[in-house]
Structure 1
């Protein structure tokens, strides 16, 4: 069975958007790509031409050079990063933003030109000027600083692919003297320093390049023109779409994802499913026979208002503030007992503008499933913190049930978790986590006496956590404010709309719809993120035929841009005439 036939019947692990009227603007393979760049060079009419290949950190630069050599026959190859500061100097400059912690740093404000030496740039420019005839290639992260270029290519890759290259030790961090084998520290430097700087450069440059190069798959590049790329952005920001999901093992991983998403078996069970995280996930744009993968955050950068809405953009800028992901503990283990920072704390300590408010929507359970949430009445903060610190040192098991409420849970329960609330999903839950997007800012308080998959203790942050725990969130408050605050909002023939959260302290609103007939959703100034939480299939349609009907299947997360004025969702396929359910999240007014 072909992949495209397969995904029509199951959870679609390879969703794509077919971009209209741009089939001739995409190429696959170095031979075709090199020939197209050669044509662009010839069109300049110059005897000496400079081809700039600006690269996101982690791109396989030598593969690109080798792949283009036959077509371009370069007279000179300049590696721009030879003009950058020495790694030891880069380490010195960014050290205060990295901190000694394995996980947390501080958002660094740098721009790429701050790490290049003007005298070295001038020396490279003189080298380029010495080429009388032929093509000179300038390649690297910062290549666009060296020369304007007669043809400019932007080489990109997805955030998830960078992490895979870290794990395989194929790449390390940019311009560092430190040999680092700790994946958490590699990711930290990328997250707090490199990717922020690279994104600033990308946002300033991508609208002016000639070509966009997808380098995600080894020796299988794809390239599109800038016009085709931005046509893809514009089309995607005008219709429902999905991100390309990925799944990752963890120490508490369960069995639900493997069984229901039909994932390949792994040595360690799948714990996470990332199906709605634009900063991490990618998009597939299909141009004829060429499928281009690009970071989903690019769409956020270049179609911010159409995607997010004016109101959301005014509040958050070019950031996607909502995240959907899966946490699988079915036949697995407990998540770490944890708490998220308050807005004030995350701003002062890490340079973030908003925090990780979240919720657990229970997609499925096995018997005995529970959620830890809020603190018990009558506990003493000093005693709880003393026990947490004692457990952190080892040789002592933290008595979680002594201090934290434990709630039995069932399918379709919804637990709200504003920042400062102690919580964790216990074994037996398949959680659709609906949250704000600063997703690495979890302060683990207790990790159940276990090691990470790397054999090392997972980082615990009792000191951070102690400063943000809201000690007033006791049993009565938690039960009344955070557990199944479900109320009917509207109903019509064949449908019901319910408000399920989030809490008044959180900026995300969630609505659940049960329906056996088409139900209308209207724009409200915010992007919508949704998931089909019950039923096999539903179809999203435009009342005015503004976009093609879009089919979604059970557990799939999808996004409806703010620019879509109205859409309907109806049960379809095997679910036609049956009652299905979706949960929708958006930013409150």
Structure 2
């Protein structure tokens, strides 16, 4: 195993940002007091808008102690009673289903009680002198802010707080609920509502407050944050990866990425899922963490390109993540919903098409993909149901093709195709962004990390299987569909997918010398799949050279245009390879 050089804390340096950020509650309060004092009003309103999951009471307590406002208001006190909130969101929670709901169209004002809101506004209006402090999700709904602070929260940290029983869902105190059900409610309701509220506020932020680490609060000037976002879309960048164990998890990432050796395993890494990952902004030596989706919200056209933005809006449509089964077990035997299924049943407008690129493979590595010829669908459904009911294990090899997998193989998985990565595989998953819409049909009789059987959605799965995707069709359409496209001095380019039913195009470049690239007006996502280091450069010097290391995923915004990639450091004189994905337009 090579020595790890993988950077787990990449950041975007904010130009001129050295003095635009302070750390610690004393400095935060002092900076806010100065901003409030600069407003020409006898009753300045300091509103701290909070993303769901932020520790609102802690923020309120720290600021109240230091700033001594004339009035303190919790925005949550003006919300509907918890039972009314539960009734409001119930239609989107999928009943007893542990995983799936329906993406809601609710807006934040619907969570507020008209009488409570009126009383809160009247209390604010009665204050004649001195600052008013409003804290919470929807703070600016109570009163227009003279100074607006946005306390954001990384999705990953929100998930950790669910697991630690630290927070409830939006508008309710339900910490006793399982973290999985809290996540489901956040995914289908809370985060949709909060993102709709946040989008138009970004342009108005006077300050951004980072309390992802509650022990070290950081306050950055809003204009400096926006300057950092504008800067990010002019050059390649990386988001902050996160890692999680899995029932089938392996050991490869632990070594390759220098992770905690005491952990039992790591199964997942989200390396480019902007809805879930964070973006670190560098203010001198200080790093401020914001959700990377904020960049998509604030700079969608420059990041995605006109054609991609026209199709997807302010959503990032490409997902890169890792699945590690080296020394672990098989993933679940599964299928993803067809487009009409995900639209009608879950409210998503495009589906979870994907692919497995083999970043590495051990002896005996394999991928289940497509059905065997002559499969009796009734017999397969019966065997799946019996296995799920505690009967004999499902004989996957009887019904599905099992393809040997080698390093750099690429398996294409359009929705509706049965599939499963086997053990001894290190998969770079290159896919459309939807990421929780997996219909597990068989999980090999094992328990999840919580000691319970993982949710199986057999009937959903059976309804979406494309039964005509059998051995010959799978071999001809989905396994290593490599097509040489061109070559130059020291490089060659191949098309590896994806399938025509999938909107993502993938290109592999092998190179020992500088290879030219061009975004052609659409966002590119790449991973260095071979070689120790490479450097990304602008032919015109539009951005500083950007170093990437083995297995790192990076984003090249549409606005970048032409760029080159060359071997660097220990890779000079050796052949490297990148996998690049972009949206077909």
Give the structure-2-normalised TM-score: 0.98
Number of positions where the alignment pairs a residue of Structure 1 with one of Structure 2: 582
Equivalent pair of 2:229/2:298 in contact (CA under 8 Å): yes
What residue number does 1:459 align with? 455
Q: 2 CA distance for matches of 1:231 and 1:468? A: 45
What residue number does 2:488 align with? 492
Counterpart secondary structure, 1:258: helix
Equivalent pair of 1:370/1:409 in contact (CA under 8 Å): yes
Residues 325-362 of structure 1 deviation map (CA, whole Å, 9 limit, x = unaligned): 00000010000000000001000000000001000000
> Which of 43, 48, 51 is residue 53 of structure 1 equivalent to?
48
**Is the counterpart of residue 362 in structure 1 residue 358 in structure 2?**
yes
Q: 1 CA distance for matches of 2:505 and 2:183? A: 31
Q: 2 CA distance for matches of 1:241 and 1:247? A: 19
What residue number does 1:3 align with? none
> Which of 421, 428, 431 is residue 432 of structure 1 equivalent to?
428
What residue number does 1:4 align with? none
**Is the counterpart of residue 236 in structure 1 residue 224 in structure 2?**
no
* TM-superposed deviation, 1:392: 1.2
* TM-superposed deviation, 1:502: 0.4
Matches within 5 A, 1:117-266: 117-176=113-172, 180-266=176-262
Q: 1 CA distance for matches of 2:262 and 2:83? A: 39
Equivalent pair of 1:53/1:138 in contact (CA under 8 Å): yes
What residue number does 1:559 align with? 555
What residue number does 1:23 align with? 18
What residue number does 1:283 align with? 279
What residue number does 2:400 align with? 404
Gap regions ≥5 residues in structure 2:
none
Distance 1:9 1:375, change over 3 A: closer
Equivalent pair of 2:411/2:478 in contact (CA under 8 Å): yes
* TM-superposed deviation, 1:184: 1.8
**Is the counterpart of residue 91 in structure 1 residue 86 in structure 2?**
yes
Equivalent pair of 2:535/2:545 in contact (CA under 8 Å): yes
Distance 1:277 1:383, change over 3 A: same
* TM-superposed deviation, 1:132: 2.7
Equivalent pair of 1:180/1:186 in contact (CA under 8 Å): no
Residues 479-517 of structure 1 deviation map (CA, whole Å, 9 limit, x = unaligned): 110000001001011000000000111000000000000
Counterpart secondary structure, 2:560: coil
Equivalent pair of 1:213/1:222 in contact (CA under 8 Å): yes
Equivalent pair of 2:448/2:454 in contact (CA under 8 Å): yes
What residue number does 2:336 align with? 340
What residue number does 1:441 align with? 437
Equivalent pair of 1:571/1:578 in contact (CA under 8 Å): yes
Equivalent pair of 1:251/1:268 in contact (CA under 8 Å): no
> Which of 105, 118, 128 is residue 101 of structure 2 equivalent to?
105
Between 569-578 and 128-137, report the one with greater CA deviation: 128-137
Q: 2 CA distance for matches of 1:309 and 1:367? A: 42
What residue number does 1:74 align with? 69
Q: 2 CA distance for matches of 1:31 and 1:52? A: 18
Q: 2 CA distance for matches of 1:204 and 1:64? A: 23
Equivalent pair of 1:307/1:562 in contact (CA under 8 Å): yes
* TM-superposed deviation, 1:395: 3.0
Q: 1 CA distance for matches of 2:583 and 2:170? A: 36
Give the structure-1-normalised TM-score: 0.97
Counterpart secondary structure, 1:77: strand
Q: 2 CA distance for matches of 1:255 and 1:290? A: 32
Q: 2 CA distance for matches of 1:85 and 1:181? A: 20
Counterpart secondary structure, 1:120: helix
What residue number does 2:308 align with? 312
Counterpart secondary structure, 1:233: helix
Q: 1 CA distance for matches of 2:133 and 2:390? A: 56
* TM-superposed deviation, 1:180: 4.3
Residues 154-213 of structure 1 deviation map (CA, whole Å, 9 limit, x = unaligned): 110100000000000011212236564322211110000000000000002121121111
* TM-superposed deviation, 1:9: 7.3
Gap regions ≥5 residues in structure 1:
1-7
What residue number does 2:567 align with? 571
Q: 1 CA distance for matches of 2:31 and 2:332? A: 52
Q: 1 CA distance for matches of 2:551 and 2:205? A: 38
- Please identify runs of 4+ aligned residues in structure 1 that moved more than 3 A: 176-181
Q: 2 CA distance for matches of 1:352 and 1:30? A: 41
* TM-superposed deviation, 1:423: 0.2
* TM-superposed deviation, 1:363: 0.4
Between 217-226 and 325-334, report the one with greater CA deviation: 217-226
* TM-superposed deviation, 1:82: 0.9
Q: 1 CA distance for matches of 2:195 and 2:389? A: 39
